[in-house]
Amino acid sequence: MAITYPLYMPTVPGVSRIVLKPRNVVGMSSSPFTRQQQTYLFPGEYWELELTLPPMKRAAAEAWITFLLSLRGQSGTFHFQATAFSTPRGVATGTPLVNGAGQTGVSLITDGWTPSTTGILKAGDFLSVYSGSSSINRLYKNLTDVNSDSGGNATFNIWPRLRESPPDNTPVVVNGPNGTFRLAGNQQQIDIDQAQIYGIGFSAVEAI
């Protein structure tokens, strides 16, 4: 059977350590005389990851090894979801959807939430939205506490900014959100010690 992307990561054993690296692209110049600074924020915000797996025997390691090999370096993509932030801190009830096509910038307008709810999402909650392109999901972090209004509408300040305009009525995933990534390089390392314990870790970058 042909391999189709994005792949899903193995779930056993789970990842033991996650390093999230939010990357901003900012140009800055400084006057040589006054040291006054000027900055320009470019739209190229994106996620990087470093994932470390626990020490394991071959029976468990092979699922991860074949997953990494199936990506064929940076060619393939995969969905990243972490149990560390799979559950929101906010109330997060309702059936949230993207409210309106053509959205851009650093805000996401949504509807379908339980009406008039305080803390429908909390600052730091993650959400994901299908980008509308090539089975890619975008992973966003909500930056402020948000309440839903009487109509079940809510607008979120998000990081990173919208790279594409998600289609109207696209589901907004807040339980088990995931983003689509690819390996950061074309070479991986698998350590096997004398006791035949495997050590595996890899880096990834948001698929753009």
Distance, CA of 180 to chain centre: 7
User: Does the structure show a pLDDT above 80 at 133?
Assistant: no
User: What is d(CA 19, CA 205) in angstroms, rounded to the nearest whole number?
Assistant: 12
User: What is d(CA 96, CA 140) in angstroms, rounded to the nearest whole number?
Assistant: 15
Domain with 49 in it: what CATH number?
3.30.200.190
User: What is d(CA 131, CA 206) in angstroms, rounded to the nearest whole number?
Assistant: 13
pLDDT tens per residue across span 136-173: 999 999 999 999 999 999 999 999 999 999 999 999 99
| 66 and 97 housed in the same domain | no
Burial 144-154 (b: 16+ CB within 10 A, else e): eebebeeebbb
Q: Tell me what pLDDT residue 83 has.
A: 81
Which two three-digit tokens encode residue 137? Answer: 């999901």
User: Does the structure show a pLDDT above 80 at 196?
Assistant: yes
pLDDT tens per residue across span 5-62: 999 999 999 999 999 999 999 999 999 999 999 998 899 999 999 999 999 999 999 9
Could you give the percent of the chain with pLDDT greater than 90? 92
Q: Is residue 2 in some structural domain?
A: no
Q: Tell me what pLDDT residue 92 has.
A: 97
Q: Is residue 170 in some structural domain?
A: yes
| 72 and 13 housed in the same domain | yes
Domain coverage including residue 70: 7-81+181-206
Residue 133 or 86, more confident: 86
Asked if the bond preceding 6 is cis, omega within 30° of 0, the reply is yes
Q: Tell me what pLDDT residue 82 has.
A: 79
- pTM of the prediction? 0.92
Q: Tell me what pLDDT residue 88 has.
A: 97
| 76 and 151 housed in the same domain | no
pLDDT tens per residue across span 49-100: 999 999 999 999 999 999 999 999 999 999 999 788 899 999 999 999 999 9
Q: Tell me what pLDDT residue 1 has.
A: 79
| 62 and 93 housed in the same domain | no
- The number of residues making up the chain comes to 208
Q: Is residue 134 in some structural domain?
A: yes
Query: What total number of domains does the chain contain?
Result: 2
Q: Is residue 131 in some structural domain?
A: yes
User: Does the structure show a pLDDT above 80 at 134?
Assistant: no
| 11 and 33 housed in the same domain | yes
Q: Is residue 1 in some structural domain?
A: no
| 96 and 138 housed in the same domain | yes
Q: Is residue 11 in some structural domain?
A: yes
Domain with 147 in it: what CATH number?
2.40.30.290
